[in-house]
């Protein structure tokens, strides 16, 4: 299948040679006219995939209470930068803000910042949270005590892939042949240095992944928490401990598809290596907690009680819906185990709930 972005990428590859998976992923997701997040697509049941905040209001509500508790433990600073990375449709922030409205003084202290590159998604977010401030990255968010949340943000950041061939690590790059895109093995680029050394001695055919952008964002968050105080909560699917394997995947209309088939038209993601995120953060002075699995984490925060409370004020169809949402978020065979939660915070703060 031809797409405008595919034609552009083929021309680029013909002119300058194969591109890294990271370059390919960045173009597919963020190209200013043809990128997946630039152009498309709704999250939710009609879209290509559904995220936890779109499954249920309870997700954002629980995270809101977790963050409000951190604010209390920070001694209720009068001004707090509340940052969300990759807010999608703005649903999580809307639910989080509604749930924390009764917390005395909390909303008065908050300034909401969205880190979002897609202008189209910024418009959707503005419908839900009109008073937010938008940023391309964290560097322009003003200093100050910080609360940060990121759900399914790190899995969208570009990864590099390396494959062992004839006992030598090579980099996978995207090449073009007869109007289609395919993978080739090339000499490993400098990002190989970021891969976990304990996985280097693995058999031929092994694949290693690394996400330099994720490592860099984690370091920036940690510096901010160390210098200005505060806490961050990161939820995503991925590895508790880095492992070999190819986790690069494409989703279109809730179906897995070939990531090289229709660039710009499918969502591309990779497993998040939480140990690498946590190591980047602790090396910059933050304390890290977890990972916890999403199911037990949400149950520890009281999502079961919240579901009962919501169910008590609705009819039997509503009750069934709430129970199925709860199951979707927490059951081990749904999002409860695959999705993991990592907290980063100022080391002076006491341990957070849920870990």
Give yes or no for residue 269 binding ligand SAH (CB under 6 A). no
Which C-beta is closer to ligand SAH: that of 28 or that of 68? 28
The CA distance from 109 to 209, in Å, is 40
Q: How far is the CB of 156 from ligand SAH (least distance, A)?
A: 4
Q: How far is the CB of 1 from ligand SAH (least distance, A)?
A: 23
For residues 18-37, which are near ligand SAH according to CB under 6 A? Answer: 37
**Are 271 and 211 within 8 A, CB to CB?**
no
- Residue whose tokens read 């703005």: 90
| Piece in contact with ligand SAH (CB under 6 A), picked from 61-69, 147-155, 160-168, 250-258 | 147-155
Q: Which residues contact 290 (CB under 8 A, 6 or more apart)?
A: 274, 278, 297, 340, 341, 342, 343, 355
Q: How far is the CB of 48 from ligand SAH (least distance, A)?
A: 10
Which C-beta is closer to ligand SAH: that of 41 or that of 164? 41
Query: Which residue in the set 24, 153, 154, 226 belongs to the binding site for ligand SAH (CB under 6 A)?
Result: 153
The CA distance from 82 to 71, in Å, is 10
Which C-beta is closer to ligand SAH: that of 157 or that of 344? 157
The CA distance from 347 to 227, in Å, is 11
Q: Which tokens in the block code for residue 355?
A: 């870990």
Query: Which residue in the set 27, 61, 152, 171 belongs to the binding site for ligand SAH (CB under 6 A)?
Result: 152
Query: Which residue in the set 5, 121, 281, 335 belongs to the binding site for ligand SAH (CB under 6 A)?
Result: 121
**Are 54 and 63 within 8 A, CB to CB?**
no
Q: How far is the CB of 341 from ligand SAH (least distance, A)?
A: 13
- Sequential DSSP letters for 300-329: HHTHHHHHHHHHHTS-HHHHHHHHHHHHHH
| Piece in contact with ligand SAH (CB under 6 A), picked from 152-160, 256-264, 306-314, 336-344 | 152-160
| Piece in contact with ligand SAH (CB under 6 A), picked from 11-19, 60-68, 151-159, 184-192 | 151-159
Which C-beta is closer to ligand SAH: that of 185 or that of 272? 272
Give yes or no for residue 219 binding ligand SAH (CB under 6 A). no
Q: Which tokens in the block code for residue 150?
A: 């990121």
For residues 44-103, which are near ligand SAH according to CB under 6 A? Answer: 51, 53-54, 86-88, 92
CB atoms within 10 A of CB 336: 19
Which C-beta is closer to ligand SAH: that of 292 or that of 335? 335
Q: How far is the CB of 136 from ligand SAH (least distance, A)?
A: 7
Q: How far is the CB of 117 from ligand SAH (least distance, A)?
A: 4
The CA distance from 38 to 31, in Å, is 7
Give yes or no for residue 116 binding ligand SAH (CB under 6 A). yes
- The full 3-state SS of 205-251, as one line of letters, equals CCEEEECHHHHHHHHHHHHHHHHHCEEEEEEEEEECCCCCCCCCEEE
Which C-beta is closer to ligand SAH: that of 164 or that of 224? 224
**Are 155 and 271 within 8 A, CB to CB?**
yes
Query: Which residue in the set 3, 117, 202, 324 belongs to the binding site for ligand SAH (CB under 6 A)?
Result: 117
207 burial (CB, 10 Å; 0-12 / 13-18 / 19+) is middle
Q: Which residues pair with 257 in a beta bridge?
A: 250
Which C-beta is closer to ligand SAH: that of 61 or that of 152? 152
Residues contributing to the site for ligand SAH (CB under 6 A): 37, 43, 51, 53-54, 86-88, 92, 115-118, 121, 151-153, 156-157
């Amino acid at each position: 299948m031809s797409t405008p972005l595919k034609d552009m990428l083929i021309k680029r590859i013909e002119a300058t040679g194969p591109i890294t998976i990271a370059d390919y992923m960045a173009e597919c997701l963020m190209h200013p006219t043809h990128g997946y997040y630039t152009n498309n697509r709704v999250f939710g049941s009609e879209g290509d995939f559904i995220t936890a905040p779109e499954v249920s209001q309870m997700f954002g509500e629980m995270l809101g209470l977790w963050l409000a508790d951190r604010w209390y433990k920070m001694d209720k600073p009068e001004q707090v930068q509340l940052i969300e990375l990759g807010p999608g449709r703005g649903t999580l922030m809307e639910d989080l803000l509604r749930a924390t409205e009764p917390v005395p003084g909390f909303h008065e202290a908050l300034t909401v910042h969205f880190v979002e590159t897609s202008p189209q998604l910024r418009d959707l977010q503005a419908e839900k949270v009109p008073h937010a401030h938008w940023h391309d990255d964290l560097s322009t968010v003003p200093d100050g005590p910080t609360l940060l949340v990121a759900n399914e943000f790190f899995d969208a950041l570009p990864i590099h892939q390396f494959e062992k061939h004839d006992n030598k690590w090579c980099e996978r790059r995207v090449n073009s042949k007869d109007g289609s895109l395919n993978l080739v093995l090339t000499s490993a680029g400098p990002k190989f240095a970021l891969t976990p050394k304990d996985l280097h001695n693995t058999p031929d055919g092994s694949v290693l992944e690394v996400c330099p952008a994720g490592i860099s964002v984690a370091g920036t968050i940690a510096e901010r928490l160390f210098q200005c105080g505060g806490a961050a909560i990161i939820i995503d699917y991925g590895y508790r401990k880095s492992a070999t394997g190819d986790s690069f995947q494409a989703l279109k209309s809730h179906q897995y598809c070939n990531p090289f088939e229709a660039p710009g038209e499918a969502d591309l993601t990779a497993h998040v290596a939480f140990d690498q995120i946590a190591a980047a953060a602790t090396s910059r002075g933050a304390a890290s907690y977890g990972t916890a699995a999403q199911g037990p984490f949400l149950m520890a925060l009281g999502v079961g009680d919240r579901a009962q409370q919501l169910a008590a004020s609705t009819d039997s169809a509503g009750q069934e819906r709430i129970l199925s949402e709860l199951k979707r978020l927490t059951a081990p065979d749904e999002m409860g185990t695959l999705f993991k939660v990592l907290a980063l915070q100022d080391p002076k703060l006491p341990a957070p709930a849920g870990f």
